[in-house]
Structures are given as structure tokens and as C-alpha cells.
Amino acid sequence: MKAAVIVFPGSNRERDAVAALETVSGVKPYEVWHRDTELPQVDLIVVPGGFSYGDYLRSGAMAAHSPIMREVKARADKGVRVLGVCNGFQIITEAGLLPGALRRNAGLKFICKQVALRVENTDSDFTAKYRKGQIVRYPVAHGDGNYWADADTIKRLEDQGQVAFRYVAADGGDDPLGNPNGSAAAIAGIFNEKKTVLGLMPHPEDAVETLHGNTDGRPMFQGLVDALQ
């Protein structure tokens, strides 16, 4: 699998994404500067976390208009897999690859901790290596992770199996206390309709090796590697 990680001014988890991809696939991904207008031939594009443009204006809003994003959208339209994590989720949402928006956390504070997630749909290259309903733990680290969309959109996401991950309590139950940021329907991550684009707030790339305390993120990258060989 060949992958590219997009780097914006203010990206800061590109190193984590590169390390996770290299650890699992054995191939070092390309790092592509946001001002570039062309992408190498890749099977996966990762839009990493961080504070692109310092979160000025609105998280992800400025990066969504970077020159490279036109190319990212064109590739996504052709079915190239796109993974947006944290600020990357905010950016691809702002860029219109996914519906909805990410607002300030309900608690108004940045929050960094391990969270429990339920895998809601395994019918994608991102989630194929998980069991449906499996409870996994990834860390979150964000201030603006409160997913919002209007009721019709939420219904459509639910009906079409576009909800990828949902925040749950540590024991796997639907407990609002498991929702760290007030997201609608406790949504932590969503797919596009074709399940070729995934955006999520938690960080699978920081749950890949023993040092991270758990390796629940590894199957996501393994699933992509296996599907996109």
C-alpha cells in the first residue's frame, strides 16, 4: 500500500501517522506539503491531526482551501481512500468530503484521554479487521470534537451505515458519560456513502504499539494494507 500524509502549516500529528503507517505497512508514506498541487500515485491519503493555521477562523476552515485539497477531493471522487483524523476530520468536513461540522467540546475544554469506542460498521477497508460491535480504545486529544449535523443528516448517516465509531462507556454501554465532547448521537467517526472516506476525532495512529498502552488502532491500518495491496 502506498500512502501520502498531507502536511499543513500547524499539522502536528503527521509524525504519528507516518510512524503508524510505516509500522504496519513496512512502507514509508510520502509527506506532501499543502501548497503542492499534485499528489503521487497512492492508495490512501491521510489528513493528519494538529492545529492547521492555528485553528484561526475555525478549525480546519483555512486548510480546507489549501491548494492540495482540490487534488485530495479529486482523488477521493475516484475512490482513493481518505482518512482524516482529528484536525484532519475537521479539514475534510470543511472541504465537503463528509457532512456535518465539529464544534467546541461541550465541556469547553481541550481533552486528552483514552476513550472507549464501539465499531458500528465493519463494511469498509478501515474497519474490516474489527468485529461489529467491538469495543476499542483510542486516545482523543482535541478542543473541537463535538460532532454536529442536522437531524435529517444524522438519520441518513445512521440509516446508510455511515456511522463508523461511537463513543461508549468503558464497559461498552450507551452511557452519555462515555461521550467526551457532546457529539450528536455520540458519533466519533463517520464514512462517506461509499465508505471510502473516514473521518474521526480519536487517534488510531496513537494506539499502534505496546508503548502506547494498547494496540487497538493497529487493525485499522492492517485492514487498509490488506485491502489496498
Partner 1 sequence: MRPALTEAAVTPEIAAEHGLTADEYQRVLEIMGRVPTLTELGIFSVMWSEHCSYKSSKVWLTTLPTTGAQVICGPGENAGVVDFGDGDAIIFKMESHNHPSFIEPYQGAATGVGGILRDVFTMGARPIANMNALRFGSPDHAKTRHLVSGVVSGIGGYGNCVGVPTVGGETNFHESYNGNILVNAMTVGVAKADRIFYSAAAGIGNPVVYVGSKTGRDGIHGATMASAEFSEDSEEKRPTVQVGDPFTEKLLIEACLELMDTDAIVAIQDMGAAGLTSSSVEMAGKGGLGIELVLDHVPMRETGMSPYEIMLSESQERMLIILKPGREEIARKIFEKWELDFAVIGHLTDTGRLVLKMHGQVWADMPIAPISNRAPVYERPWEPTPPQPEVDEGVWDGWNLSLEETLVKLVSGPDQASKRWIWEQYDSLVGGDTRFMSGQAAAAVVRLPNQKKAVAITTDCTPRYVKADPVRGGAQAVAEAYRNLSAVGALPLAVTDNLNFGNPEKPRIMGQIVGAIQGMGEACRALDFPVVSGNVSLYNETNGEAILPTPAIGAVGSLPDAMLAVGIAFKNEGDTILVVGETKGHIGQSLFLREILGREEGPPPPVDLKAERRNGEFVRALVLDGLVTASHDVSDGGLLVAVAEMAMAGGVGAHITGLDGAHPKVLFGEDQARYVLAVRPDKAEAVQARAREAGVPVTVLGTTRGTALTGRGGEAISIERLRKANEAWLPAYMTAGVE
- Contact residues toward partner 1 (CB under 8 A) are 9-13, 15-16, 19-20, 49-51, 53-56, 109-113, 139, 141, 143, 203, 205-206, 208, 210-212
Give the torsion sign (CA, 75, 45, 183, 218).
Answer: positive
CB under 8 Å to 151, separation ≥6 — which residues? none
Q: Is 142 a catalytic residue?
A: no
Q: Compute the Cα dihedral for 148, 149, 155, 156 and give only its sign.
A: negative
> Which C-beta is closer to partner 1: that of 30 or that of 153?
30
CA distance 127 to 100: 21
In angstroms, give the least distance from the CB of 13 to partner 1: 6
Q: CB 54 → partner 1: shortest distance, Å?
A: 3
Quick one: 19 or 185, whose CB is closer to partner 1?
19
Q: Which is nearer to partner 1, 66 or 124 (CB)?
A: 66
Catalytic residue among 14, 34, 94, 203: 203
Given the residues 14, 86, 120, 212, the one annotated as active site: 86
86 is catalytic: yes
Query: Nine-digit cell at 55?
Result: 485553528
* Residue 6 and residue 46 in contact, taking contact as beta carbons nearer than 8 Å: yes
Please tell me which residue in 71, 94, 205, 212 is annotated as part of the active site. Answer: 205
CB of 139 to partner 1, least distance (A): 5
Annotation says 205 is catalytic: yes
Q: How far is the CB of 211 from partner 1 (least distance, A)?
A: 5
Cell of 155: 438519520
Rounded to the nearest 5°, which phi and psi values hold at 119? -80, 115
CB nearer to partner 1: give 106 or 112. 112
CA distances from 53 to 9, 42, 76, 100, 107 (A): 6, 26, 23, 21, 23
Query: Which cell numbers in the block locate residue 227?
Result: 485491502
Residue with cell 474490516: 128
Q: What is the set of active-site residues?
A: 86, 203, 205
